[in-house]
Structure 1
């Protein structure tokens, strides 16, 4: 795998309309790990893909009515099977972090890449997800060497009090321990 013009090659691309250009003076130097499941706590299906494309049918589940009208995206989504789906080029700003701050710098969407894991805060992630996450992280770090291990964080760390993902079930030690040395 590699990034070509911000797109994972080879890869599955499901383009989201929920993105815009990064500010000209900003370089990408942060990786943010998230989790998502739609409906909450349920896995499988294509609800997340449709949510990131603004195509989620609110009549399919009561929770979908609560999130109707939200326009969000992530650069990548890793399903429980380890399958990676890309929604937004890494050269563009995906709308994954919301109100956020890292190391004193606000608006993390401007300078970060977001990866969503299919999961919840309190259920263990699958081995296949960690394998794909490690491989994807190394591809991203090769293209964006400013993303050191110290600049890989969770949504909970950049939006404390507002977000809790990837949650207590995410094994940071295992994940970071599998990454190679900083470039």
Structure 2
């Protein structure tokens, strides 16, 4: 792990083995909160919400910018659901992706600390995997999903590409506008 990103662990059992021979080449960015919890923006309440619904993500990034790892990257999380890659039509995106949840809601902005942590975590993941695509949940499940809500894709893209050379990295089409 990169010394620049602080990652804490909050394990879940909501995962399975990845199919053999599948290379991780995609990051999917999500957003969530736990509307039923007293503290709907805490990492623990969000993890409990994911567990309750039988879904998961590899990472959560809380409002303070702390990245929480729920599942090892070599395991298949259940974050994408029914999904198709817009670039090549591959289905079942969970099999070849890493999911990152940004804690927030439809009516709140992500924090400066979250943007910094997201860029650092992304660079950290890029150092271990041949990531080609970074998409939002809505890119792979259009009409079904609307997250990540309010993510500034241009800023995120610039933060990731600053001081790095990832010429073949494709971001959500939203990042181009």
Matches within 5 A, 1:135-154: 135-144=120-129, 146-148=130-132, 151-154=133-136
- Give the gaps of 5 or more residues in structure 2: 168-177
Q: 1:51 to 1:79 in 2, by over 3 A?
A: same
Structure 1 segments of 4 or more deviating over 6 A? none
Distance, in Å, in 2 between the alignment partners of 1:97 and 1:36 is 13
Normalising to structure 2: TM-score of the pair?
0.83
Distance, in Å, in 1 between the alignment partners of 2:106 and 2:143 is 14
Distance, in Å, in 1 between the alignment partners of 2:42 and 2:11 is 19
Tell me which moved more, 110-119 or 43-52. Answer: 43-52
Distance, in Å, in 2 between the alignment partners of 1:17 and 1:170 is 28
Q: 1:123 to 1:107 in 2, by over 3 A?
A: same
Tell me which moved more, 94-103 or 40-49. Answer: 40-49
Number of aligned residues: 159
Aligned to 1:63: none
Deviations 1:10-57 (A, max 9, x none): 6311111110011112100000000000117942362112234x3xxx
Corresponding residue SS for 1:71:
coil
